[in-house]
Amino acid sequence: MALVTTKEMFKKAYEGHYAIGAFNINNMEIIQGVVNGAKAKKSPVILQVSSGALKYAGPKYLKAMVDAAIADTGVDLALHLDHGPDFETVKLAIETGFTSVMFDGSHYEYEENVAKTKEVVEYAHARGVVVEAELGVLAGVEDDVKSDVHVYTDPAQAVDFVTRTGVDSLAIAIGTSHGAFKFAGEAKLRFDILEEIQEKLPNYPIVLHGASAVDPVAVATCNKYGGDIAGAKGIPTDMLRKASSMAVCKINMDTDLRLAFTAGIRKVFGDTPKEFDPRKYCGAGRVAIQATVEDKIANVLGSENTL
């Protein structure tokens, strides 16, 4: 088994009306939890690394741990750069051995986003690496980037963008948002926009960012054991299941992993205050990550038993 690009994964996901989970990794326990979950459910997964994670763990550590995960489990994995902010970070990821990169030029003026994305696509394709780009603006916080409002993706512009840049997949804004505080009122996704894009770009893989469910049980566990996470509200599972049966082939759910890991660790500290063995609490975090990933594969993504 090997590190693969997302090309074949997305083709099968599109035809099979399911999506691939993209899970953010920062350390060994998170990688093991995600990959063990994928193996247990016989599902492909995408491991993704933000520029914050690159700084935190270092590209060499992350790549070596991902190689170890493949050798240990035999699961096919794609290693993806999440929200690559500039050409330099994209280059670093490709030199490290990533099979997929996102270049996020969504905060640039449209023509500048087209030009910069095209440059990244040419560089990546020449090295056998696929590229994800983004159009529209998601509300919420991603690393250091923050936005207060949604700017929904314009379907006609999506066609123009994909045609001119040659990008392999496109993240769109239809109402999901980054972070744990997604909706003040009722959750609402613009399926009409997704449908129109699917009509205009048949068989083209679409990506949803900021699609965590913000599991109320994980939030409650964090808060019960000394946390203070208020008013969190995520994307309902049935909406994500519907999106993954349409053109959405990749769903990002980082917040749910963060909450699961933290809840697992907090519970150990709360239940056994004398404990100070890192294997005991990080191990509980790893178990919580695996349970979350298995639940996503079975109930949100629909990718169980597709390996």
Active site residue 72: no
Closer CB to Zn ion, residue 41 or residue 116? Answer: 116
Interaction of residue 209 with Zn ion, rule CB under 5 A: yes
**Minimum distance from residue 291 beta carbon to Zn ion (Å):** 23
Point out which span in 14-22, 70-78, 209-217, 290-298 binds Zn ion (CB under 5 A): 209-217
Tell the smallest beta-carbon distance from residue 305 to Zn ion (Å): 28
SS3 string of the chain? CCECCCHHHHHHHHHHCCCEEEEECCCHHHHHHHHHHHHHCCCCEEEEEEHHHHHHHCHHHHHHHHHHHHHHHCCCEEEEEEEECCHHHHHHHHHHCCCEEEECCCCCCHHHHHHHHHHHHHHHHCCCCEEEEEECECEEEECCEEECCCECCCHHHHHHHHHHHCCCEEEECCCCECCCECCCCCCCCCHHHHHHHHHHCCCCCEEECCCCCCCHHHHHHHHHCCCCCCCCECCCHHHHHHHHHCCEEEEECHHHHHHHHHHHHHHHHHHCCCCCCHHHHHHHHHHHHHHHHHHHHHHHHCCCCCC
Catalytic residue (choose from 67, 72, 76, 82): 82
Pick out residues in 115-154 that bind Zn ion (CB under 5 A).
Answer: 142
Give 36 or 244: the residue with its C-beta nearer to Zn ion. Answer: 244
Shortest distance, position 178 Cβ to Zn ion, whole Å: 6
Least CB distance to Zn ion at residue 128 (A)? 24
* 173 or 193: CB nearest Zn ion: 173
Residue among 209 and 296 whose Cβ is closer to Zn ion: 209
The residue sitting closest to Zn ion, measured at its beta carbon, is 209
Contact residues for Zn ion, defined by CB under 5 A: 142, 209
Task: Give the residue numbers marked as catalytic.
Answer: 82
